[in-house]
Amino acid sequence: MKETSHWFIFPAGLTVSPSRSQFFMRESVSLSCEEDDSSAGWTLRRNTTGGTRTQCGDEWGEAAGSICNMTYLYPWDTGVYWCESREGASSSSVQLTVTGGSVILQSPVLPVMEGDDVTLSCWTKTPPSSLPAAFYKDGSLIRTEPAGNMTLQQVTSSDQGLYQCNISGHGESPSSRISVSERITTSPPAASISPPAASISPPSS
């Protein structure tokens, strides 16, 4: 199973590493509140079936400054995570899903831009990961890909929905939502070019 090792930066200062929303049980993840204003006192919080607005270090996770390290994830860690300032301001939230099953779907966590290509990958807990996988949207089969990767080309709002994958003999992944944001384009102002003034010399006497 291959994945990028870089930190993925979400809007409003929330970062997640590795950059995915689905995890196998007993994997680990690090979340960080990027502090543009260190005086704001950002804290990582979550809503799960076990509690609401609980903060990192309060019976879950290990807080190290603005970073929250979660080791040995379990299904009850599934929930919504966000950063909250001392004054109560909140960052964008991220849905994390932890499964005790054998298959996860690798998909974008945040909304993707209209017109972008989006690749979904179906991973198994044990090698090999590049197995044939069937991909579903809102419960309906899209297609089966021989290597377990499916690319949605030039996505539009019609591509929004809940996605899931299934690998025969291994099982199915949890569902993850893909949202598509409208691409806002602005045209640069037209350049105003004045013709050079003509240089006229007086006639010589």
> Is 200 a residue whose pLDDT tops 60?
no
> Is 7 a residue whose pLDDT tops 50?
no
Which is it for the CA torsion 68, 97, 169, 129, positive or negative?
Answer: negative
Q: Give the model's pLDDT for residue 64.
A: 86
Q: Which class for 177: exposed (0-12), middle (13-18), buried (19 or more C-beta within 10 A)?
A: middle
User: Tens digits of per-residue pLDDT, 122-174?
Assistant: 999 988 778 999 999 999 999 999 999 999 999 999 999 999 999 999 999 99
Identify the CA nearest to 52 among candidates 17, 23, 93, 19: 93
Residue 153: DSSP 8-state: -
User: Tens digits of per-residue pLDDT, 67-115?
Assistant: 899 999 999 999 999 988 888 888 878 899 999 999 999 998 778 899 9
pTM > 0.85: no
